[in-house]
């Protein structure tokens, strides 16, 4: 067998050895969870790497509470991969407490007006297990000049 034929296999093995996955869940204190949460935020919202963020941080049986999206990690990856590159996000608030990470951000992505979005993720140890979100759209008819942001 030629050495060049082994290169793809070697690269795949190297990726498996060096890849860090937090799932399935392992025990973690709140400080460790907050660190993992911020890694997830950086990978998903800043670097916009949907696949890496989810395969590294989110459980296969990911529970989704958005009524318009089914549960499952791969379903989330497939859905977000199509819309995430066009979404411009401005993070307003980021926090972590009691096994729960939350992010409040402004989303600008294709519509005429921005949206205020809050994503909430529940951890089990090192792994994200569950997601809720709230989305509020901007309207030019608002009477409150501080609405949304």
Cα 119 to Cα 3, 16, 95, 113, distances in angstroms: 48, 30, 11, 19
Three-state secondary structure string covering 79-148: HHHHHHHHCEEEEEEEEEECCEEEEEEEEECCCCCCEEEEEEEEEECCEEEEEEEEEEECCCCCCCCCCC
Q: pTM, whole model, 2 decimals? A: 0.84
Tell me the average pLDDT across 9-35: 75
Each residue of 83-101: pLDDT tens digit? 999 999 999 999 999 999 9
pLDDT at 127 over 80: yes
Tell me the average pLDDT across 73-80: 97
CB atoms within 10 A of CB 64: 18
| Domains detected in the chain | 22-135 (3.10.450.50)
Q: Which of 16-20, 51-55, 97-101, 104-108 bottoms out in mean pLDDT, i.e. has the lowest?
A: 16-20
Q: Which of 54-68, 86-100, 107-121 bottoms out in mean pLDDT, i.e. has the lowest?
A: 107-121
Q: Give the pLDDT band (50/70/90) at residue 20.
A: confident
Share of the chain above pLDDT 90, in %: 72
Q: Which residues is 58 bridged to in the sheet?
A: 128
List the structure tokens of 77: 């990856």
Position 13 scores a pLDDT of: 40
């Amino acid at each position: 067998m030629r050495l060049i034929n082994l290169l793809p296999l070697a690269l795949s093995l190297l990726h498996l050895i060096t890849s860090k996955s937090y799932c399935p869940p392992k025990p973690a204190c709140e400080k460790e969870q907050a660190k993992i949460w911020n890694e997830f935020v950086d990978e998903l919202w800043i670097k916009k790497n949907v696949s890496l963020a989810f395969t590294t941080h989110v459980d296969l049986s990911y529970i989704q509470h958005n009524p318009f999206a089914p549960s499952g990690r791969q379903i989330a990856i497939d859905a977000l991969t199509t819309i995430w590159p066009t979404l411009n996000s401005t993070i307003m608030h980021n926090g972590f407490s009691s096994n729960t990470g939350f992010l409040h951000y402004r989303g600008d992505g294709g519509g005429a007006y921005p949206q205020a979005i809050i994503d909430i993720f529940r951890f089990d140890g090192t792994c994200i297990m569950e997601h809720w979100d709230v989305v509020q759209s901007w309207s030019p008819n608002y009477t409150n000049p501080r609405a949304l942001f």
